[in-house]
Amino acid sequence: MDIDPKLIEDLYEALHKVSGYIYPNELELQWSVLIVLYPYITGLVAGAFILASLERVFNVKEVEPTYRLALLTSLAFMLVAPLPLNAHLGHFERGYEILITPNKTSAMAMFGFVYIWYLAVVLLLEVWFEYRKDIVIFSKTKPAPLRWFYKVLTLGVDNISPRSLEIDDKIGRAITVIGIPSAVLLHGYVGFIFGSIKAIPWWSTALMPIIFLFSAMVSGIAMVMILYMFLCWFRGETIKGEKMVCLDAIARYLLVALIISFSLEALEMIQKAYEAEEHYDITVVMLEGMLYLSMLVVQVFLGSIVPMLFLGFVRVVNVHERIRKAVYAMSSILILIGIFAMRWNVVIGGQFVSKGFRGLTTYKLGIAGREGLLSAAIILVLPFLILAALIKLFPPWPAGGVPAEERKGDLTAGA
């Protein structure tokens, strides 16, 4: 019996557009919104630290007003970084076992050691050396019980002579130098985890760790910029002079990082289109449907193209400071939303494609529950609450938050 070739062609096309032609073990997505938060938060940690290193290592004095804020931001988000994983897996009380009985062949297990190294050796030490002088002064001037708290933090070292502070500065710079490759490792490994999963072509690419790293730089810089502007407004300070120079410098580095990040993502999509492997047809269907809004509209257009145009415009055209500040604030917010959309499209979008490349799975974000929107919102808000407490305890302002009258006679204490 002869079969009409047109019928075969129509059937083949219909198979590529069918929804729900999946295997039984694909009915539910294994990784949900909590795993979206995981790379998003760790990216903010790495990006904020890299911005801090511009002043400490590369001597970019223009961004010096945000150095301490960037450090505290990185620390606040670092303290929350493992929570999405623990909430997803459950049994917080077993988390320590990953360090006692690690699986050396598991990239996820090795994260425990990377986390401890970055938190204890890099962030906590650098914050301590940076604030040691203020901690000593606070331990003598603040009322109890805060004075006792700062006294404990001095670790019994109250020498803040010029020579001692010079040593602190050298040690702090050395820690920052070590922290730069550590920050690269921290977030590059997240991209490595996704890029090494061969079963999902959407993830399996050598560019994934690099894309994650540069997008982390973009999100971290944008977060510090919007926080700096908010804190200046909250304290009633006008952004002008040195502060405006700082914002202009941060915006310049943000634009460069955004261009590189967007170019890498575009290169990855061009490569996939050029290779046109068996999964490409279903990927196109997914982009035209389920991911059209989150990827093409939010991630690409609103989160990348619009901020690039705005930031590039203020670099080329000499506009008033008020306009520049509005552009910087709006661009930072759009970038943070766009990077979150990028993480969503990678984690959730990568699981939409069925293993047979003939159908699309679905994902519905619930409100309550361990994997729900409420849990994700609490985890996302928690770093800001921690940051507020850190700023209260360790003011990031240029003078360290120590009034001049409290500094009198203390600079040589313990000498």
pLDDT at site 59: 86
- The tokens of 324 are what? 């520049």
pLDDT at site 364: 78
Pick from 293, 383, 361, 374: which is nearest to 31 by CA? 361
- The tokens of 254 are what? 């943000």
Task: Count structural domains, the chain.
Answer: 1
pLDDT at site 187: 77
Place of tokens 């309550």: 368
Q: What is the rounded average pLDDT for all residues in the chain?
A: 83
Identify whether 116 is part of a domain: yes
Identify whether 1 is part of a domain: no
Identify whether 407 is part of a domain: no
Radius of gyration of the chain (CA): 24
How many separate helices (H) and strands (E) can be counted in the chain?
16, 0
Query: Are the C-beta atoms of 79 and 249 separated by less than 8 Å?
Result: no
Query: Are the C-beta atoms of 23 and 48 separated by less than 8 Å?
Result: no
pLDDT at site 405: 43
353, β-bridge pairs: 360
pLDDT at site 403: 45
Q: Residue 107 belongs to what H/E stretch?
A: helix 107-116
pTM of the complete model: 0.86
Average pLDDT estimate for 304-331: 93
Q: Alpha-carbon distance 246 to 69, whole Å?
A: 13
pLDDT at site 370: 81
Q: Which amino acid is at 364?
A: K
**7-63 tens-digit pLDDT:** 556 655 554 444 445 555 555 677 888 989 999 999 999 899 999 999 888 888 899
Q: Alpha-carbon distance 224 to 226, whole Å?
A: 6
Q: Which residues contact 88 (CB under 8 A, 6 or more apart)?
A: 31, 32, 34, 35, 38, 370, 371
Identify whether 411 is part of a domain: no
pLDDT at site 310: 95
CATH number at residue 326: 1.20.1630.10
Residue 71: domain span: 22-402
Average pLDDT estimate for 119-147: 91
Query: Are the C-beta atoms of 180 and 53 separated by less than 8 Å?
Result: yes
Identify whether 13 is part of a domain: no
Identify whether 409 is part of a domain: no
Identify whether 386 is part of a domain: yes
Average pLDDT estimate for 92-104: 78
Query: Would the pLDDT of 407 be above 70?
Result: no
Q: For residue 405, with 0-12 CB atoms within 10 Å meaning exposed, 13-18 middle and 19 or more buried, which class applies?
A: exposed
Average pLDDT estimate for 314-332: 93
Pick from 395, 58, 66, 73: which is nearest to 242 by CA? 66
- The tokens of 3 are what? 């079969």
pLDDT at site 23: 55
Q: Alpha-carbon distance 121 to 144, whole Å?
A: 30
Q: Alpha-carbon distance 378 to 140, whole Å?
A: 37
Pick from 53, 340, 332, 44: which is nearest to 213 by CA? 44
Query: Would the pLDDT of 333 be above 50?
Result: yes
Q: Alpha-carbon distance 346 to 264, whole Å?
A: 14
CA distances, 316 to each of 310, 324, 326 (Å)? 10, 12, 16
Identify whether 12 is part of a domain: no
**244-263 tens-digit pLDDT:** 999 999 999 999 999 999 99
Pick from 412, 390, 392, 409: which is nearest to 75 by CA? 390
- The tokens of 148 are what? 């006792």
